[in-house]
Structure 1
Amino acid sequence: MVKMTVSKALKEGEKICESKFVAKELLKFHLNLSDEKIILNLSLNLDNQDGYFTLLDRYKSGEPLEYIVGKAEFLEEEFEVEKGVLIPRFETEILVQKTLEVAKEFKNVRICEIGFGSGIISISLKKRLNQADIIATDISQIALKVAQKNAKKHSAKVEFKLSSLLDEVSENFDIIVSNPPYIAKDYKLDKWVLSEPKEALFGGEVGDEILRKIINLAKTRAKFLVCEIGYDQKHSLSQALKEAGFEYEFYQDLAGFDRGFVARNLNLGLFY
């Protein structure tokens, strides 16, 4: 391969992955340089350019950027990710903000997250609610490993447990929060999303099956339920929440799609 400058390699990278952002992030990772240092080195020859183009090929083949570089940003903080855990999305930052709003109603809030993945939700909550008692569950051993590493990195005390939903948890909570699998089985996804764990993406034939299970669990286990949902699930989940005895509000993401709900349990006499 003919020697090329950093600037030329970056332009070639943009063509290959059809994304200026991805090409630049992979180059920063390859050279272990910041944005500023990349700019200062644009005229220099690229070291180990074969390595950079290998990274580009991995991305073009469907490996997500976050898996390649081993990290993702969430609420302006860096978290480790790897193949086998769901990659954090910007929309889920809204879920955290909604949970923080609900938490203001409690002095020492007790929270349970169902499906912790890389741990970003529980860790982000703990860092902002120092007195909170937070337990989080997931069925994945890989998720447990990654979440514990992230908790240590961020000095956040969260109890992560291997459990399907609340099977291994006996306590009741002020808030249950979840970004569960909610995509319908036959929904078409791009190759990068399909590289993520299917058990963290697909919620069943229709997509809302796991959300319905969580709603039914929460009616006897939590004062509030805060969940992220699919853009087309507001109607069906409104029925499920009403039947389970919740009053609720849905919220939208920045694109204007229905993205989640905050629900208050009206069955408190059952367990409090």
Structure 2
Amino acid sequence: MTIKEALASARDQLALPFIERPRLEAEILLQELLKKERSWLHAHDETLLSDEESQNYQSLLKRRLQGEPIEYILERASFYSRDFYVASGVLIPRPETEILIDWASSLIASHPICRVAEVGIGSGIISSTLALLHPHLTFEASDISPRALEVARENLKRMGAESRITLHLGSLLEPLEGEFDLLLSNPPYIAQNTPLPKPLNFEPSEALFGGERGSELLEELIKEAQKRSIPYMIAEMGYDQRGAIERFMERIPHQELRFYQDLAGLDRGFIVRFDSSLDSLRP
């Protein structure tokens, strides 16, 4: 079978409702197998694949056809123009979380922030990215998953940020000692009984579901941040949770609450300023 024939067959196999770009994914999987660029595949599309290469390609396709996310198959995901290591047992980075990075980076650049806490570090994309963008920062980060901490540790090493980000096994802020200028989190926020698309079934449920209503962990984080006198907090949330957060914040002393939106215009996260003596969130 030639490369051209293999790609055509793969494209047809991958034409399923949960796969948005079957042609692109067919090419990505084959280039991964052959360790070639996509441009090379098209320039050499009459090249014959060996029997072993054809069998291995079918094995990759089978995993994808069963719903396994392509990021797990490739063991990498792109985030903020960098490739991060990902593996099963850890949430796959989402483009929406890049917006959290933008808001955090803007806040850090204009406010006296040096020591940052991250709850639920997962694969480590948030702290690693901000550490590279802002060399003066140090981080303490927690996660309840030993597997997540393994993946995060590998990414910190690859990004050269391991000396500035300390990892802790534990829940929320409990294992993080000392004072912090900013709390960051992309916690589980899906309501418990929400039906999930097929690919999400491969991702760890503890990184997806945030309780019966979905906002419970967010609310607990807000309480802990206020109790620990952390001046600022930025967190990602579900698109339909603005009302729940606003109602909860009515009971929490704070100075300012802002919501930010994703590229579709949906509410995607919020920023809180707890301390009245500090500068406003607005530039």
Q: Structure 1 regions of 5+ residues with no counterpart?
A: none
Question: 2:272 & 2:170 partners in 1: Cα distance?
Answer: 23
Question: Does residue 21 of structure 1 match 2:28?
Answer: no
Who is 1:194 aligned against? 201
Question: Does residue 264 of structure 1 match 2:273?
Answer: yes
- State the 1:266 CA deviation: 3.6
Question: 2:219 & 2:98 partners in 1: Cα distance?
Answer: 22
TM-score, normalised by the number of residues in structure 1: 0.94
Question: Which of 35, 38, 48 is the equivalent residue of 1:35?
Answer: 38
Who is 1:244 aligned against? 252
Aligned residues of 2:2 and 2:46 also touching (Cα < 8 A): yes
Mapping of 1:122-271 within 5 angstroms? 122-156=127-161, 157-221=164-228, 222-246=230-254, 247-266=256-275
Counterpart of 2:9, as a letter, is E
Counterpart of 1:121, as a letter, is I
- State the 1:39 CA deviation: 2.1
Q: Tell me, what secondary structure is at the counterpart of 1:219?
A: helix
Question: 1:155 & 1:74 partners in 2: Cα distance?
Answer: 16
Q: Tell me, what secondary structure is at the counterpart of 2:141?
A: strand
- State the 1:108 CA deviation: 5.3
- State the 1:22 CA deviation: 1.7
Percent identity over the alignment is 39
What is the CA deviation profile of residues 142-184 of structure 1, one whole-angstrom value per residue up to 9, with x for unaligned ones? 1111111111111013111111101111222111010000001
Aligned residues of 1:119 and 1:151 also touching (Cα < 8 A): yes
What is the CA deviation profile of residues 45-71 of structure 1, one whole-angstrom value per residue up to 9, with x for unaligned ones? 123111111111111112110111110
Question: Which of 8, 11, 33 is the equivalent residue of 1:11?
Answer: 8
Aligned residues of 1:245 and 1:266 also touching (Cα < 8 A): no
- State the 1:78 CA deviation: 0.6
What is the CA deviation profile of residues 160-212 of structure 1, one whole-angstrom value per residue up to 9, with x for unaligned ones? 11111011112221110100000011111112111000000000111111011
TM superposition outliers: structure 1 runs of 4+ over 6 Å: none
State the number of aligned residues. Answer: 266
Give the aligned CA root-mean-square deviation in angstroms.
Answer: 1.5
